[in-house]
Amino acid sequence: MKLMMAMAMVCFFTAAQGTVYTVSFNGNPNADFSDLQAAVNAAVTAGGTHEIRLQSGQSFNTSVSISISNGTDLTISGGWDSGFVSQTDSYTSTSLYAGADLTSYGTSRVLNVNLPDGELTLHNFAVQRGSNVGFGAGINAFVNGTSVFNLTNILLANNFAINTNGATGAGLEVVGFTNSQTNLIGVAISNNLAESTSSTISGVGMMARMNNQAQLTVTDSVITRSRSDSPSQVTGLGVFIDANDQTEVTFTHNYLAQNINTEAASVVGVNASFWLSEQAVGVIANNDVLAAQNDDTDISPNALEQVNLLGRNDSQMWFANNFIHNADTKGIRSESRDSAVMTLINNTFYDHDQASVFITGTSGTRFGNNIMALDNGSNFIHANIQQSNNSTADPQLLNVDEPMIAENSPARDMGNNNPWPNTLPEFDFYDNNRIGNTGIVDIGAAEVPIADEIPIFVTGFEELSDD
């Protein structure tokens, strides 16, 4: 799976053909432009497929608007040498920022993106110090129609969203409509801040609102150290995803940690890392998410949970192979309403200062093959919930920061291979076969590895004669 994602990433930023526009701010005679906005305008006006290359080792003090409405396919990538021939594969080699320097917040958003008809790929640079806006301080994107928005190997850091009436998406805010696609692969979202004096803060690191069959994929990404400063309610400090109208969201192989609120005393409620809300027909697959609170000394003492799942109407949600651990909050709160179907299967909820789980809602929620262990609160699972083969025993993890269990773990070979039709994932947290060894699935996010099989002919085969 990871190989496929890597191949997809390569396709994103090698497919560009046509004109290559080059940008440098240091007087490089090899550059076509000293201003990124001018390069964007030239590429969009020309139409077709084009690439903009940003020179490595530079920080571009800029606020740029990108609007593609003519089917243009544009790639903007950083890390290029002075001849714009070779590229350093590091998102810290080139930076776009809106501040006077990289130590202060700016007075504007860094990137405005509007894609009613086209494709935009951002690759291999940092977006920093955007500010003075209530949402999308780093990047604010509207993606519509058949448009595609790709972010690969991008750093979104130290952006600041501030508004008295609520603040969202300090690092990234994206709104998708009508069959559009938004893809984040290998993105780091870190140290973004949101502040509001009187209203809710949501999705400090990333806010995504998907509507009308839009698609969102987030994979192999890191969302850490999102911070809020608000006396009001805070939801989804790291990530908030609101999916509606037959949208599809895939959130896989991501790491969320150390997302905090600094106004602990008066906050109504805090969801520390991840909030996912699904309101209409659609399948949401959340697989292999690592949500942790490794430095929990700063998390609000009245925080509610690390992960919040909410299913409404006739939505479908699948949450599998996730490892949620080490927080002074609850591990997860999941609620199904109306005729929503929510499947939480083969997850490990481990070592929380409060309860591991709070599962409520209609009989459409299915909760099976999950570990709930080493918590310090009372787990709640509503009587409506369908349950199968869950465990509260110590799973004997080989490493408290990973979900791998020991060979003699009480969770080994104790799961249900088919608690409900077509619900068991094919692979585990580590992308190994979900059912191995004895043919019975393990409880929790990870399987005990299958022992190496001895080859049929280990020695002596080459010595065999025709006799």
Q: 316 or 7: which carries more pLDDT confidence?
A: 316
pLDDT bracket for residue 347 (50, 70, 90): very high
Say what the pLDDT of residue 53 is. 98
Residue 2 has pLDDT above 80, yes or no: no
Average pLDDT over residues 353-361: 92
**DSSP letter string, 298-356:** SS-TT--EEEEEEE-TT-EEEEES-EEEEESSEEEEEEE-TT-EEEEES-EEEEESS-S
Residue 172 has pLDDT above 80, yes or no: yes
Residue 222 has pLDDT above 70, yes or no: yes
Q: Which two tokens stand for residue 101?
A: 């320097």
Tell which residue, 36, 42, 214, 188, has the closest CA to residue 111: 36
| Residues near 206 by beta carbon (within 8 Å), at least 6 away in sequence | 156, 169, 171, 172, 173, 174, 189, 218, 223, 238, 239, 240
For residue 277, the enclosing domain spans: 2-463
Say what the pLDDT of residue 363 is. 93
Farthest CA pair distance, the chain: 90
Give residue 366's identity as a one-letter amino acid code. R
Residue 42 has pLDDT above 70, yes or no: yes
Say what the pLDDT of residue 454 is. 32
Say what the pLDDT of residue 326 is. 81
C-alpha–C-alpha distance, residues 400 and 388, integer Å: 25
Say what the pLDDT of residue 282 is. 54
Residue 413 has pLDDT above 70, yes or no: yes
pLDDT in tens, 113-167: 999 999 999 999 999 999 988 999 999 999 999 999 999 999 999 999 998 888 9
Say what the pLDDT of residue 3 is. 35
Other C-beta atoms closer than 10 Å to the C-beta of 292 total: 23
In the chain, the number of structural domains is 1
What CATH number does residue 9 fall under?
Answer: 2.160.20
Residue 358 near residue 323, CB atoms below 8 Å: no
2 DSSP 8-state letter: H
3-state secondary structure of 436: coil
pLDDT bracket for residue 173 (50, 70, 90): very high
Say what the pLDDT of residue 291 is. 63
56 DSSP 8-state letter: T
How high does pLDDT run on average in the chain? 85
Which pTM was predicted? 0.90
Say what the pLDDT of residue 270 is. 59
Residue with tokens 């021939």: 85
Say what the pLDDT of residue 10 is. 43
| Residues near 45 by beta carbon (within 8 Å), at least 6 away in sequence | none
Residue 403 has pLDDT above 60, yes or no: yes
Residue with tokens 């309403």: 337
**DSSP letter string, 354-405:** S-SEEEEE-TTEEEES-EEES-SS--EE-TTSEEES-B-S---BSSTTS-PB
Say what the pLDDT of residue 15 is. 44
pLDDT in tens, 96-125: 998 777 778 888 999 999 999 999 999 999
C-alpha–C-alpha distance, residues 380 and 143, integer Å: 39
C-alpha–C-alpha distance, residues 53 and 24, integer Å: 9
pLDDT in tens, 253-289: 999 888 877 765 444 455 667 888 876 555 565 555 6
Q: 271 or 233: which carries more pLDDT confidence?
A: 233
